Structure 1
């Protein structure tokens, strides 16, 4: 493993620890299980004019974008869009399941979709940047 690749792995793991801490472990437990399985409910609210929900959806997309951007550097290879999407699904599903089981948040399918899209976009952008940097060596 090259030095830069090791730093990218460390950055990705640190980022994941911060994300899990902020979305699960720093929240106070609730008394009940909270979940919303209504697919795309947040985007319907956006199309009805909810600026607050638009902000929430954009923030959820941005949440895992840095992780996706680190993947090509951590694995030292191009990450395809579907690999970034799959990584986002796994990480986000893990967050949502922990929120549900530990009663520390709201399990939402929309969050999984938005987080996964962000990770996918980050992986695509990171792969482009990695390719451009490799061409300058």
Structure 2
């Protein structure tokens, strides 16, 4: 698998693994997010879609900008690298649906681990926001690809033009 990979794919794997380590640290071990050594005594979960998203949007002035940004924006931005790097490291993920599905499944795994080990909260809204982040990361990947192709075409046209004159 890695042997047949291009340099770009290998570099994508390295960055993706660092991203996964960074994400795991913040989701499961970071004292900043209250994860540390204190596991919750009982299970915490939300199975109602958009319940927490709605609550954070409606009460954003009460919960504060920092909590709003961490919960809503943080879940989206935290998964954008996943959607960006999946198409780089895997040819199958170059289809938007596969990237969305893998982002969702990865988010489901994280939420399930949080539920089992009582670290954080199993939240359907987090899975929705994480999947949205994966999709936005994929869109960013497509924009970068489109821009690279356009730049290459312009350079090629400029080189051909200079050869003719």
TM range (shorter): 0.7 to 0.9
| Aligned residue in 2 for 1:45 | 55
Q: Does 1:131 align with 2:146?
A: yes
* Cα drift, residue 77 of structure 1: 7.4
Contact 1:80 1:124 (C-alpha < 8 Å) held by counterparts: no
Q: Does 1:60 align with 2:70?
A: no
| Aligned residue in 1 for 2:163 | none
| Aligned residue in 1 for 2:13 | 9
| Higher RCO structure (Cα 8 Å, ≥6 apart) | 1
Moved segments of 4+, more than 6 Å: none
* Cα drift, residue 117 of structure 1: 0.4
Alignment: residue pair count: 137
| Aligned residue in 2 for 1:118 | 133
* Cα drift, residue 67 of structure 1: 1.6
Alpha-carbon distance in 1 for matches of 2:120, 2:92: 35
SS, match of residue 64 in structure 1:
helix
Please give the TM-score of this superposition, normalised by the length of structure 1. 0.86
* Cα drift, residue 44 of structure 1: 1.8
**CA pair 132-76 structure 1, distance change in 2 beyond 3 A:** farther
SS, match of residue 39 in structure 1:
coil
Q: State the Cα RMSD in Å.
A: 2.2
Gaps of 5+ in 2: 154-165
